[in-house]
Every structure is written in C-alpha cells, then in structure tokens.
Amino acid sequence: MSSREALQQAEDRGLDLIEIAPNAKPPTCKIMDYGKWKYENKKKQVAAKKKQVVVSIKEIQVRPRTEQHDLDVKLKRAREFLLDGSKVKVNLRFHGREMAHQEIGFELLQKITKDLSNLAIAEVEPKKEGRQLFTLLAPDPIKIKEYQELKKKNPKLDTEPTAVSE
C-alpha cells in the first residue's frame, strides 16, 4: 500500500508507522506502538545483562622470602577467590639481590600452582615480566564441584594448613 494509506491506518489505530527495512524494494514498514517496543527491547537487554557472567581477576602478591604461615594465609584467600569463580593472578616481585636467584621464585610459583591444582588450572605458566614473575590460575568447575563435595564430608578442609613447603 502507499505510504499515505499506511500513515492513515496507523493514525486511525493510534499507533506509529515504523520503517523496518528501508533498503528493501519496496521499503517495509510496520504499524506498532513505538514506545512499547522500545520499553520491551530495553527490558530484554537488562535481562540479558543479568545473565552475563563477569569473571574478575583477583591478585595475590608474594615475595621469594614469604614465610610459610603468610603463604598459607594468602593461599586460603586465593582458594576463596577461586571458589567464588574469580581468576587468581599470583604475582611474585623481586627486590634487589633477589633477582640473582630467580629459580627460587619459579619454584615457589610452581608450588603454589600445585597446591591450588585441586581447584584451578594454570592458564598462564609462570612468566617473567621485568622484576616480577606471575602466573594466572582459572577456576575449574569440575574440580570445584569435587572439592565442595569433599568439603561437605570433611568440614575441616578449609581450616587445615596447606602442603606448600620446601
């Protein structure tokens, strides 16, 4: 139908004439309530945004000479982050003469990765960047599920010290 007839029909119904496909031959239009359409689209976008999973990266900082108890505390926090679904970046910073013994840092990061292997997988193996080493651990859903089942059977699982030692 002609655009004048379509506009007249839309006005008679109290609705809007909206051009759907302007490049089509002939252009396609639709009679609808534009305000209601905008509202429904916005509602759909909000619902889609709620369903989105946002993965954050939490950072744990250690030094080559970090004592065992301090390391246990940091690993406990890392475990909490992983159980919450966040990735964990373990950052080991060298100061001064510690740079001469970088192998100690690599060993420490490998021990941390091994200790958290019951919950996570290493996305990035220990990598050197300037005066620091880092590794990125991502939560593994299958391992987390197994861990939570074990935790139900043994509630002391989180309170026991970890097995990272020299």
Region of residue 149 (left: phi > 0; alpha: psi -120 to 50; beta: else): alpha
Question: With bands split at pLDDT 50, 70 and 90, how would you rate the model's confidence at 76?
Answer: very high
> Do residues 126 and 63 share a domain?
yes
Give the pairing of strands 57-62 and 120-129: unpaired
The total number of residues written for the chain in this structure: 166
Q: Per-residue pLDDT tens for 93-110? A: 999 888 888 899 999 999
> Do residues 105 and 135 share a domain?
yes
> Do residues 28 and 64 share a domain?
no
Q: Per-residue pLDDT tens for 108-132? A: 999 999 998 888 999 888 889 889 9
> Do residues 64 and 136 share a domain?
yes
State the Cα–Cα distance between residues 78 and 160, nearest whole angstrom. Answer: 15
Residue partners of 15: CB distance under 8 A and separation at least 6? 31, 32, 33
> Do residues 28 and 66 share a domain?
no
> Do residues 116 and 78 share a domain?
yes
The structure tokens listed for 160 are: 């026991």
> Do residues 67 and 118 share a domain?
yes
Q: Per-residue pLDDT tens for 129-166? A: 889 999 999 998 888 888 888 888 887 765 444 454 44
